[in-house]
Structure 1
């Protein structure tokens, strides 16, 4: 167990190592991708595992080699991405292969990362402990995965058509929309308890339960609350008593107010390693993402899961329960990775992988397991970094380690291919649709994202397609080639993209390792950006020109000493006021969205600006209606051009009002 702050001689040693390893480190990198045919994963020891013909025997990770590999890769990625600190732990066959700390837990104090004691914030990896707690209570007969969750609650969670079950919560198919408000809060105080958060901020359900994957923090919070109600303990205390304590995870806690013994070990959070530190991130419902844990403690959790729920004589789950958790569940698209019970499934270099990631404002983490090889890796950074460097580091470390240390498995084509005409027609069909993620907030102004940044599919000249946001680790858009009807495979990779067809039309698609937790569906035609976005731009142009004409008209009349016509003066003033309100409303929303998009802004949320924006939106709608009223009541003496202009301006106002109505700008209250 060693710590390596990135200073002085470490830089010189790293530079020498980089010269030797540069060819491998700078090669094009690919994203983690799913297997072409998801399989039931064998739990170590439960069934025989057939190794590759040339596979090395189990237990061959050499600690010295792994250390050399990490010492060459991690500092390089940190330097490129301006990251303050990182931790990596690797386990195999019941042993900790290595624990490595890099950089600083506190830059100002020059405190190095200690992989055994420094507390990182693993974010949503916390959810694995919620699922572990749920399954412990299932083992005891206190919970049933297929019972209505409202049976266990003292408030009601909405359901469409059929009740939501814990199985659906664990597979992120509850159908609930996303909620961001109060999920993460900066500073020492919570604005609400976890129970208040769950009861006062109940999201709408946008899908019937069990029909579409849509990752839900809120639903996980409900599961943690169910654990509390059934066990009679707070989730913080339950996790400590039944998971962290038995596994000897000494440097780990779900308590958002940490014990005095752990406070000195908390890593500071940074947007950039070269910048200042930030206030502690607090999670209102700790099970959703509130874990504090060191790399060494996370290693013990990985060892227990790879050893069928037992570590050092302490059992937290039965072997059959671990097998059940690792087993993929049914999915909407059969060729893509399926969600297991709380664990994401994917393919890494041909190896069936179970994993979960975590992202907070300042910490980027991932935990990976390959059960058939009894290998696990945990990686975390305490910085977001430049251009998402924290996210890239956690993926690259894992991908590169599998590539370096496990026997390579050949890439298999998922289909025989399709003819050029079919590929071209299918690509054009997908390109003609504007898509939105199933993981979204539909009842608040965040719906505006579907108008301004819909997901598009783009046909390429070589017969492949690209998809907005689907990038490899080299930062380039992945290219997908159709290998069978409505199934695409990543060029030179294992990843798959699949489309669901109903009545000859594409109704859903997903791709890559995140297919288990969200996908994409068409935006309804009545609010599709294909027509609404251009209409909004034209309307704003009309309103702006109208305002310019009105302002310039005042100066022209003054210059020539001509008085404005008396008839219709009141209507003209109403027009001017309404146009002004509409334009001010649009500008205010743009500025508000920019401010809210700043790092940490949602976590440091203020009610007053949102309430002001909502009031302004209602005024803008009223202004649009006034413009219509003016167009109807226009004086007969107005010139024909002015009368026509009144209707054009009224139409522009109605388009802006339609956007406000259809995209959540008229909601009341402070939900987000």
Structure 2
């Protein structure tokens, strides 16, 4: 358990720890697990992060408790202080032993929560993270446990990985293709479902009905099964519901009994809200360490992300998975091997199969030539990652209870820890770089263009989110490609083709694979479960955004100019605009109504998307109002055209003709954008 210490005491402890590390590194003898590092002081007090030990040359760092502990004590507190993250827990196992379990910072800053639905307890004093007692929400790391539960049922012959899942369901699921949807597809994110946000996370403690989560307003199937990796929480909700159906046991009870209990995870649960004996041990969740605690997050598709666990329990799971503890395994060796192996091949993925592929519930996160499988997870406040090195019998788990000051703070801290761990203890052997493939320049030219994520919404108004966050691939004269932003990062990255359709990050270890149709690349695979799909010309941000912004600007100026002009004429006693004939005069009012409707729709859609992107509910009735406004704006194209023709015929003047033409073009632009991005969809789903 962590404890408070004065700064001088910390420095003394650091000197002592350094001596122990030096001694152990020199003789190679094992040592006892060091005392967990002290937490970061609460907001408003001074902090003196311990400097991280220097990264040694490859092959010199000993994977021992003292070295790992000292390295973590230097890295994590400094990262928390820099990013404004309140607390963290880390555990490392190796050869069946827990060699480090650490808690840093606070589970409760002492500022109190927002009410009875807040996470954690109502204590008034700071509560440090205790890796043995403090529970963290682990988000999508839960999917590893769901996959394990399903594979136990596969072993029992109650689920067939390659049979259509319809045989196990009592609800209809969306289907747009004849190919079967299999459990293998669900566990590898290749069932073809679009993204769905509504109901993913709600705030406050409320019970969850898993059947409703899969049956009510399901997402559309937009890709043929097995062909396009597209990360899907809905797919894992289905997998968990199937496990519930075939076992006859509620999912939370099933995974508790057959996975958590068997792994010795006595302080972990999928239950929402948490059981009374665990509720007060749950960490608060924060935006930053200086913000008030957020409310409890209820995950709608529970099998996709509802697990709450301590770092110590996660260490027990890693030990059980990696062996060497004497605890009975959760899966047979054959099933465990298949769970960690690529689960799909080129027969459906094509050349996307030449890079990292999903295993059954696990991502291929290999680094430095070492096989690594793992899974990350995020809720609104909590962020976690689990990695296993099956061949090295090593595992790492890290959890954070805050998002941090910057949008990528938690990602960068997790990457620095996980990649730093791999580079320190499992460095890459010296090897010459792979030669550039002779097809590099040709394939780079075929790849150039704009791409959208396969993890998107296609059938609803949230298709408009596709105009933001697009990725641009630019072919460079030397045969490399510039990818902006680089997949899995917020920064541009350069990739070099090392085998046909396989691209390696220059100066890094990320890998892309490409799939081409005819003379252009149509799909780029990355990080096992994600795909970039070439944007249609009209959906490319470089085209759509200028049209949208210029149309919005014209309509807003026109909407303001009409009343300003009327006031100006009245003030200066100017004559009213000349008549444009019967049709022209009749067209004025509907054109202005359409202009106002278009501005209302665009402002409303922007608000809706921003609200929903923050995992907040947006009223269906307001969506309906925006849909009516969008159609009203479309209907205004005809009177706007009549107004322009009348202005020309009656020689209304260059300014009025130009204004009418711009309004018509702007209404057409808004209509075109709405058509390309689903704003005319009758659905209120998201």
User: Do these two structures clear the TM 0.5 threshold for a shared fold by scoring above it?
Assistant: yes
- 8 Å Cα contact 2:465/2:609 also seen in 1: no
Pair 1:455 & 2:471 matched: yes
Offset of 1:303 from its aligned partner? Answer: 1.1
- Pick from 185, 191, 197 the counterpart of residue 174 of structure 1: 191
In the other structure, the counterpart of 1:48 is none
Offset of 1:426 from its aligned partner? Answer: 4.5
In the other structure, the counterpart of 1:62 is 64
**2: CA distance, partners of 1:11 / 1:661:** 62
Aligned residues between the structures: 628
Q: 441-450 vs 68-77, which deviates more? A: 441-450
Pair 1:498 & 2:517 matched: no
In the other structure, the counterpart of 2:165 is 149
- 8 Å Cα contact 2:264/2:317 also seen in 1: no
Pair 1:436 & 2:452 matched: yes
Offset of 1:350 from its aligned partner? Answer: 1.9
**1: CA distance, partners of 2:246 / 2:221:** 25
- Pick from 393, 396, 403 the counterpart of residue 374 of structure 1: 393
In the other structure, the counterpart of 1:45 is none
Relative to structure 1, the CA distance from residue 4 to residue 492 in structure 2 (aligned partners, 3 Å threshold; closer, same or farther) is farther
Offset of 1:20 from its aligned partner? Answer: 5.7
**2: CA distance, partners of 1:291 / 1:124:** 8
In the other structure, the counterpart of 1:613 is 626
- 8 Å Cα contact 2:52/2:72 also seen in 1: no
**2: CA distance, partners of 1:367 / 1:187:** 27
TM superposition score normalised by structure 1: 0.86
Q: State the Cα deviation string for residues 90-139 of structure 1 (Å, max 9, x = none).
A: 11111111211111111113101111111101100111111111111111
Offset of 1:538 from its aligned partner? Answer: 3.4
- 8 Å Cα contact 2:266/2:313 also seen in 1: yes
Pair 1:520 & 2:535 matched: no
- 8 Å Cα contact 1:450/1:523 also seen in 2: no
**2: CA distance, partners of 1:145 / 1:632:** 64
- Pick from 137, 147, 171 the counterpart of residue 131 of structure 1: 147
- Pick from 327, 330, 340 the counterpart of residue 341 of structure 2: 327
In the other structure, the counterpart of 2:524 is 509
Offset of 1:312 from its aligned partner? Answer: 4.0
- 8 Å Cα contact 1:625/1:654 also seen in 2: no
- 8 Å Cα contact 2:587/2:642 also seen in 1: no
Relative to structure 1, the CA distance from residue 452 to residue 181 in structure 2 (aligned partners, 3 Å threshold; closer, same or farther) is same
- 8 Å Cα contact 2:373/2:388 also seen in 1: yes
In the other structure, the counterpart of 2:603 is 587
Q: State the Cα deviation string for residues 595-619 of structure 1 (Å, max 9, x = none).
A: 444xxx4245544443433333233
The 3-state SS of whatever aligns with 1:351 is: coil
Relative to structure 1, the CA distance from residue 472 to residue 527 in structure 2 (aligned partners, 3 Å threshold; closer, same or farther) is closer
**2: CA distance, partners of 1:14 / 1:625:** 78
Offset of 1:9 from its aligned partner? Answer: 5.5
**2: CA distance, partners of 1:427 / 1:13:** 56
**1: CA distance, partners of 2:5 / 2:563:** 60
In the other structure, the counterpart of 1:540 is 552
Unaligned 5+ segments in structure 2 are 19-48, 111-124
Relative to structure 1, the CA distance from residue 586 to residue 271 in structure 2 (aligned partners, 3 Å threshold; closer, same or farther) is same
- 8 Å Cα contact 1:578/1:626 also seen in 2: no
**2: CA distance, partners of 1:476 / 1:199:** 39
**2: CA distance, partners of 1:19 / 1:140:** 51
Question: RCO higher in 1 or 2 (8 Å CA, sep ≥ 6)?
Answer: 1
- Pick from 402, 410, 434 the counterpart of residue 430 of structure 2: 410
Offset of 1:504 from its aligned partner? Answer: 1.9
- 8 Å Cα contact 1:14/1:71 also seen in 2: no
- 8 Å Cα contact 1:213/1:438 also seen in 2: yes
Offset of 1:278 from its aligned partner? Answer: 0.4
In the other structure, the counterpart of 1:39 is none
In the other structure, the counterpart of 1:489 is 504
Q: 606-615 vs 71-80, which deviates more? A: 606-615
**2: CA distance, partners of 1:241 / 1:207:** 35
In the other structure, the counterpart of 2:302 is 286
- 8 Å Cα contact 1:363/1:390 also seen in 2: no
**2: CA distance, partners of 1:382 / 1:255:** 19
In the other structure, the counterpart of 1:400 is 420
- Pick from 339, 345, 348 the counterpart of residue 367 of structure 2: 348
Offset of 1:537 from its aligned partner? Answer: 3.2
**Over aligned residues, Cα RMSD in angstroms?**
2.9
Offset of 1:532 from its aligned partner? Answer: 3.2
In the other structure, the counterpart of 1:140 is 156
Relative to structure 1, the CA distance from residue 19 to residue 287 in structure 2 (aligned partners, 3 Å threshold; closer, same or farther) is closer
Relative to structure 1, the CA distance from residue 6 to residue 447 in structure 2 (aligned partners, 3 Å threshold; closer, same or farther) is farther
Offset of 1:644 from its aligned partner? Answer: 6.8
Q: 522-531 vs 340-349, which deviates more? A: 522-531
- Pick from 657, 666, 675 the counterpart of residue 652 of structure 1: 666
Relative to structure 1, the CA distance from residue 5 to residue 139 in structure 2 (aligned partners, 3 Å threshold; closer, same or farther) is farther
Offset of 1:502 from its aligned partner? Answer: 2.0
Offset of 1:468 from its aligned partner? Answer: 2.2
The 3-state SS of whatever aligns with 1:661 is: helix
Q: State the Cα deviation string for residues 540-584 of structure 1 (Å, max 9, x = none).
A: 343344335534432443314313335443322222222222123
Relative to structure 1, the CA distance from residue 401 to residue 13 in structure 2 (aligned partners, 3 Å threshold; closer, same or farther) is farther
Relative to structure 1, the CA distance from residue 21 to residue 104 in structure 2 (aligned partners, 3 Å threshold; closer, same or farther) is closer
The 3-state SS of whatever aligns with 1:188 is: coil
Q: 339-348 vs 617-626, which deviates more? A: 617-626
The 3-state SS of whatever aligns with 1:466 is: strand
Pair 1:561 & 2:563 matched: no
In the other structure, the counterpart of 1:41 is none
Offset of 1:174 from its aligned partner? Answer: 0.4
Offset of 1:458 from its aligned partner? Answer: 3.5
In the other structure, the counterpart of 1:3 is 2
Matches within 5 A, 1:62-461: 62-108=64-110, 109-159=125-175, 160-189=177-206, 193-307=209-323, 312-331=326-345, 332=349, 333-387=352-406, 388-411=408-431, 413-418=433-438, 426-431=443-448, 433-459=449-475
TM superposition score normalised by structure 2: 0.85
Offset of 1:240 from its aligned partner? Answer: 1.1
Matches within 5 A, 1:36-51: none
**2: CA distance, partners of 1:510 / 1:4:** 46
Relative to structure 1, the CA distance from residue 370 to residue 328 in structure 2 (aligned partners, 3 Å threshold; closer, same or farther) is same
Unaligned 5+ segments in structure 1 are 28-53
Relative to structure 1, the CA distance from residue 299 to residue 441 in structure 2 (aligned partners, 3 Å threshold; closer, same or farther) is same
- 8 Å Cα contact 1:4/1:103 also seen in 2: no
Q: State the Cα deviation string for residues 181-240 of structure 1 (Å, max 9, x = none).
A: 1011111225x6221121112111110001110010001000000011111111100011
The 3-state SS of whatever aligns with 2:391 is: helix
